Amino acid sequence: MKSTSPHWLSLCVAALAGLSIANPVQQKPLAGEDVMVKQDKVPGHNDAIYDTVPKEDQILNIEFLEIAPTPIIADRVFFVYLRGYLPHSKKKELELLDEGLVNATLSVSGSAVYSDGSHDDEESVIGPLKTTSFNDIAHLTIRDARGIQVDYMPSSDRSDILLDFQIPTMFLKSDGRL
């Protein structure tokens, strides 16, 4: 029987599940054409792709996205490190203020893919993009270009988003192996 996770867990899991919660699976070409080649991969060591909002329409230009360890193991801490910057042209186009992206939200979608090839249904979550401690095992931290922790993503220069998290086995449908 599959358990549903509470909202706070969904926010963190969805942020990561879509990025790289599964063992990479060798893809077979459909109709003689490799569909994976056409997807726009997010730079770094991850399995993330740009999806609903194409890369060129994203507000944040991503330098890299790192996820460790990969594959993610249930009941063990894993880390996500995203580095990017807001181009001056986007800041001007969106008329963003200098105090940062205080009204920004983070929208992520994803699902867990298990070692036997089965997967959970995709879930989407939208939440505020701000430094947050969800509980003892989940933290989202935003840093500015100097590495100083800030509440909201700055509207200029480079930013880092860091997430540490655990996925308790009780929220998985199998024996805890992803």
Cβ distance 86 to 35 under 8 Å? no
CA distances from 114 to 26, 127, 169, 172 (A): 13, 26, 13, 9
Computed over every residue of the chain, the mean pLDDT equals: 74
Residue where the block lists tokens 């920004």: 104
46's CB contacts (< 8 A; 6+ apart) are 19, 20, 65, 66, 67, 70
Interstrand relation of 132-135 and 138-143 (parallel, antiparallel or unpaired)? antiparallel
The residue ranking higher by pLDDT, 92 or 164, is: 164
For residues 67-87, give the mean pLDDT.
89
- Indicate yes or no: pTM above 0.75: no
Give yes or no for residue 43 having a pLDDT over 70: yes
CA distances from 41 to 46, 131, 150 (A): 9, 26, 28
Looking at residue 174, its pLDDT comes to 54
